[in-house]
Amino acid sequence: MDIKVLGPGCANCEKMKGLAERAVKELGLEAKIEKISDIQEIMKYTMSTPGLVVNGRLKHSGKPLPTLEKVKQLIREEA
Amino acid sequence: MLKNFVSYITYNIINLDSGSRLADAMNFFIYDTIKIFFLLSIIIFAISVIRSYFPPEKTKRILSHKKEFIGNILAALLGIVTPFCSCSAVPLFIGFVEAGVPLGVTFSFLISSPMVNEVAVVLLWGLFGWKVAAIYAGTGLLVAISGGFIIGRLKLERWIEEYVYKIHMGQEQEIIKQDFGDRLQYAKWNTLDILKKVWLFIILAIGIGGFIHGYVPEDFLSHYAGRGNPFAVPVAVLIGVPLYSNAAGVIPIVYALMEKGMSMGTVLAFMMAVTALSLPEMIILRKVLKVELLAVFVGIMTVTIIAVGYLFNAIL
Segment B232-267, tens digit of pLDDT:
999 999 999 888 888 888 988 888 888 878 888 899
Predicted confidence at residue B245, as pLDDT, reads 81
Q: What is the pTM of this model?
A: 0.90
Q: Within a domain: residue B245?
A: yes
pLDDT score at B124: 92
Residue B15 Cα, gap to closest chain A Cα (Å): 41
The minimal CB distance from A46 to the residues B85, B173, B186 is found for: B173
Task: Verify whether residue A13 is a known catalytic residue.
Answer: yes
Nearest by Cα to B93 from B81, B106, B105: B106
Summarize pLDDT for B114-167 with one digit per residue, the tens.
Answer: 899 889 999 999 888 999 999 999 999 999 999 999 999 999 999 999 999 888
How many CB pairs below 8 A link A and B? Answer: 73
What φ, ψ does residue A40 adopt, rounded to 5°? -65, -40
Q: How far apart are CA B156 and CA B164, in angstroms?
A: 14
Structural domain boundaries enclosing B192? 2-11+18-167+179-315
3-state secondary structure of B296: helix
Residue B242 lies in a domain: yes
Q: Taking CB atoms and an 8 Å limit, are A48 and B186 in contact across chains?
A: no
Whole domain around residue A18: which residue ranges? 2-78
Number of separate domains in chain A: 1
CATH number of the domain within which A36 lies? 3.40.30.10
CB contact A70 to B (< 8 Å): yes
Domain count, chain B: 1
Shortest CA distance to B123 belongs to which of B245, B215, B2, B234?
B245
Domain-located, residue B155:
yes
For residue B96, tell me if it sits in a domain: yes
Residue B42 falls within a domain, yes or no?
yes
Residue B174 lies in a domain: no
Looking at the complex, does the CB of residue A8 fall below 8 Å from at least one CB of chain B?
A: yes
Question: What is the ipTM, given to two decimal places?
Answer: 0.90
Strands A2-6 and A32-36: parallel
Segments of chain A scoring below 50 in pLDDT: none
B239 contact A CB<8A: no
Q: Which of B139, B55, B152 is nearest to B106 (CA)?
A: B152
Kindly state whether residue B233 falls inside one of the protein's structural domains. Answer: yes
Of all residues in chain A, the one with the smallest CA distance to B92 is: A47
